[in-house]
Every structure is written in C-alpha cells, then in structure tokens.
Structure 1
Amino acid sequence: MTLLSNAAAEQAVCHREIICLDQLSFAFGPQQVLSDLSFTIRERDFVGLIGSNGAGKTTLLRTIVGLLKPTSGKVSLFGTAAERFKDWQWIGYVPQRNHFNPLFPATVREVVLSGLYGRRKLFKRISRSDITRSEDALRTLHIEDLADKRIGALSGGQQQRVFLARALINNPKLLILDEPLTGIDTETQQNFFHLIRHMHQKHNITFLMVSHDMDMVRSYLGEEPKMRYGKLGFYVRHSHDLEDCVETDLLHTLRKEGQR
C-alpha cells in the first residue's frame, strides 16, 4: 500500500463532500420548484447562490437542512443521507427573517444558547461554560443589552444579529446563510462579511449563502457562476489556504471587529 504524501492527504481532505444533491426535486402541490438538481459542495467551498424571487433559493436551503422533504432525489450531508444524519450541531443555519415567527416565546439569550445543541441534545442541562460562551457571543455582536428581551420584540436588524450569534456559537463545520445581511446596518454587514471571509480562508468551514448583493458575491467568488440551474447561479470559491488560524474559537474575529 502506498502512503499519501502530506500534500496529497491535505488535498483529499479538502475534497470531502459536505453537501451532495442527487437529482433533487421539490414541489408545492402542482407547483414544481426544483427538478432533478444535482450539485456537490466540498469541504472549504464557499458557494454563493444567486437567483430571482421564486427561483427556489430558500426552498433549496430548507430542503438541505431537513425542514422540507424532497418529492424525489436525495440530499446527503457529510457523506450521510439527510434522513439518517444526526450531527446537526455541525451545521449553523441563519434563515430569512421573514420565516421567523415573531410570537416565538424565547428570550435573546435562550435563542443564542440553542445554537450549542443538536436536535438530540435539546434538553441538555446548560453549563456555566455555555452561559459564558453565550455572553461572549452577545457582546461581540453588540446585543448584550437585549439578552433578556423576547426575540419577537426586536427590530429586524437586531433579530439578524441574534441569529448570527446563534449560528456561530457552536463553531459549525457548515454555515448556511439565507440572506443574512438583510435589515442590518452597513457597518455590521461589512464586519460580518470580513468575518466569513476569514472563516473561509483560515478555518475548516464550508459556506452556502443566498444573497441579492451581487457586488459582494462577485467580489469574492468571481464574475461567473460555476453552474447555472434554471434561474439559479452557483458561484463557487474553494479555499486552498491550509494554514489554519492559530485561534480555534471563531468568535475571536468578531471580538477584534468589536474593538475597532
């Protein structure tokens, strides 16, 4: 048996499949939204999903994270069929704000803390370190003064900061973002995009992001999509920089941004 060189081993790791869509179809009754879509997202890819309203962007994301069941075809996550996948704590998901129920009876702190647990650990006892980590996330996104408020009482921009904190608190391996910058101020948008670029380049994280900001997507992912599917364009950049950041805590970059 021939051993792989270090470079070959690193390349093999970076080509690991994170999301695999195999002839995926989805319909709302008679309305076909997705039909026979096949696409693979590999480790350390950053995929920007661009398309007009009604093109199926949010439907695709919700199908990937298990909120919708495909009418046909398959979704695999980290090499496991989605219906058997258990390690949901590996995935951070920021949905569109208009999919959020404003009457949801939870405080900001409770929403952020919920990002620490997979679906099997929903009722796990909260530890002191969990509280400390949630407080850190609240401070770094400048929402610590909102910790005890009901999430539904916040403005749109404040809610997005809460959802970003929830998605990042667990150091996800895959971050799925559905219009994450909608309703937040320009400075926070710039800081967040700086953060995710750093995370992509220096941390072992894969990204799938829906955005209407073509300039932002193209500035990082390039002018032309890797694949077009109907009205959808898949823009892809792979991080070949294997020099991992010395910091293992993703929130360290947010802290630096907050000190500016």
Structure 2
Amino acid sequence: MEINKSMLCHQKIVSIDQVSFAYENKTVINNLQFDVSERDFVGVIGSNGAGKTTLLKMLVGLLKPTSGEIRLFDRPLSQFKDWERIGYVPQKNAFNPLFPATVREVVLSGMYTKKNVYRRLSKADQQKAEDAMLAMRIEDLADRRIGQLSGGQQQRAFLARAIVNNPELLILDEPTVGIDAETQIGFFRMIKHMHQHHHMTFIMVSHDMDMIQSYLGTEPQQLSGGIKFYVKHTHDPEDCRETNLTHSLGQIREMIGVQ
C-alpha cells in the first residue's frame, strides 16, 4: 500500500495531556495541554522557575508527572523504548566535568541505547561521529578529555552527540549558552535547515527571545503559567525528502565556514 507522505507529516510526536508537576508542595506546571506534530519547531520561553527544564526532563523520562499523561510517538511515556529516535541536550550545568571520557567517546555514546548498549559500532557509526564532530568544529578535540574543554567546546560536543544518530525528535535545553556568537549563528542556521528539509521535530528552550521570534514569529501559540510556546510548522510534503544526516552536515559545514 502506498503511504501518503502528507499524512506522515502530521503525526503527533509528543502529546501532553493535562500534565502537572510539583516539587514537594510547590506546583511548577499545572494542567498543561499541548501537542507537538511531526516537523514542528517549538520554542519554549519563560522566566527562571517557570518549569521549562522540568518539562523537558519529563519528556525524556527523567522526571515523572505528578498527574496527567505524556505520550511519545503515540505511546505512553512509561511504555516508550525507542530512545534512539530522540536526541537530548540538557543544560550545561547538568554535566559532571570530571566525567572520564574523550570527546569522541562522548559523541559515540549517542549511538547507544538501552536496547543496543552491547553492540559493536560499525565503520559507518564511527564515520557519523567524525562527521558530527567536524560539523560542530571540534574534530581537533576528539582525543581530549571532555572535562578539559571550555564551556562552549563542551556544549558543541554534546550537540554533536545529540545529532549523531539522526534523531526524529531533538530536545534542546538552552543549547547555545556559553557558546561564542559566531557558533551560535551557525548552530541556529543548522537547526533551521534540518527543520525545513528533514524528518526532524524540535523542542528548544532558549533565553534568546530575538532568535526564537526571528524564526517562529512574535506571537506565542500558547501560554501556560509562566511558559510561552512559539511554534512553526513545516509540513509541506514536498520538503519530506532528505533523511540522511550526512546531507545536513554538508550544509552545516558550508553555513559555519568549515572546509
């Protein structure tokens, strides 16, 4: 049976149904109702303490909602196992600087999930890691310990880890904090390209209102407590063609001036 591509580009990736979360007696998120469709780009803006990071941690299973339900790819979060479909970059301050791994090892770790933690990486896997490091301009740091890098270099390493497996959903928690202005511009161009031309959906927390509004518009689609959700849809079926990360990485190198 032939698949209707226009229907594929409207599938729900994330469904948040009346979700609340409280730390002890303090409610941070209250009855949030929000859906993310395939190839949406969702920008999440809010003041400190509004619950932005808490929301992302619930989406990747690090926290459990106090009430309500979260579904990923139409499966309840408690039953979801296909974590290779999701890339996640936490806030920089969530990283232990004493973690004993090289940059290459950190990037390669993005190829593993609970289902395939013991598999041997192929030459193709190794090449994806090299491409991802090149795209983020850290190829010369591949053998350095991650804890020896500057904050911006560390964040680029974790961005490379998040994109190495060509995820369908990329969740980013203030990914450009601590990165120099030139790299910020190149990174944002990269994710805009990947959103516009690939089967990728983005949820990104950012403090940069100008960057969010320049791409997603000036009016939020939804307000919930202190959180604003800005959304841009890219569902044109004729755009649903390139799925290979190598294509994206070639574009990225051109965008940020890497030869």
TM-score band, normalised by shorter chain: over 0.9
For the residue of structure 2 that corresponds to 1:259, the secondary structure is coil
Match of 1:161 in 2: 156
**1:219 alignment partner in structure 2:** 214
5 Å-filtered alignment, 1:29-44, equals 29-44=24-39
Q: Which runs of 5+ in 2 are unaligned?
A: none
Pick the aligned partner of 2:233 from 233, 238, 241: 238
Cα deviation, 1:1-26, whole Å, max 9, x if unaligned, reads xx99x8xx343222211000111111
Task: Give the alignment of 1:165-184 within 5 angstroms.
Answer: 165-184=160-179
| CA deviation after TM superposition for structure 1 residue 128, in Å | 2.1
Question: Which residue in 1 is equivalent to 2:244?
Answer: 248
CA distance in 2 between counterparts of 1:42 and 1:247 reads: 17
Aligned to 1:80: 75
Matches of 1:213 and 1:45, distance apart in 2 = 19
What is the deviation of 1:213? Answer: 0.6
How far apart in 1 are the matches of 2:140 and 2:5? 43
**CA positional deviation for 1:225:** 0.4
Moved over 3 A (4+): 244-247
> What amino acid sits opposite 1:251 in the alignment?
L
**Separation in 1 of the partners of 2:251 and 2:158?**
17
Instruction: State which of 116, 128, 136 in structure 1 corresponds to 2:131.
Output: 136
Moved more, 232-241 or 49-58: 232-241
Q: CA deviation at 1:235?
A: 0.4
Letter in 1 for 2:251: T
The Cα offsets for residues 74-125 of structure 1, whole Å up to 9 and x where unpaired, read as 1100000111111100001111101111122221111100111222222221
CA contact 1:176–1:208 (8 Å) conserved in 2: yes
Describe the SS at the equivalent of 2:212: helix
Q: Secondary structure at the match of 1:76?
A: strand
Asked if the contact 1:114/1:122 (under 8 Å) is kept, the reply is no
SS at match of 2:115: helix
Encode CA deviations 1:187-237: one digit per residue, 9 max, x unaligned.
111111111111111111111000111111111101110000011000001
Residue identity matched to 2:51: G
User: Contact 2:46/2:226 (CA < 8 Å) preserved in 1?
Assistant: yes
Q: TM-score, normalised by structure 1?
A: 0.93
Aligned residue in 2 for 1:27: 22
More moved, 27-36 vs 82-91: 27-36
1:194 and 2:189 aligned? yes
TM-score relative to the length of structure 2: 0.93
- For 2:137, what is the secondary structure of its paired residue? coil
Matching residue of 2:11 = 16
User: Percent identity among equivalent residues?
Assistant: 57
Structure 1, unaligned runs of 5 or more: none
The alignment partner of 1:198 has SS state of: helix
Matches within 5 A, 1:72-111: 72-111=67-106
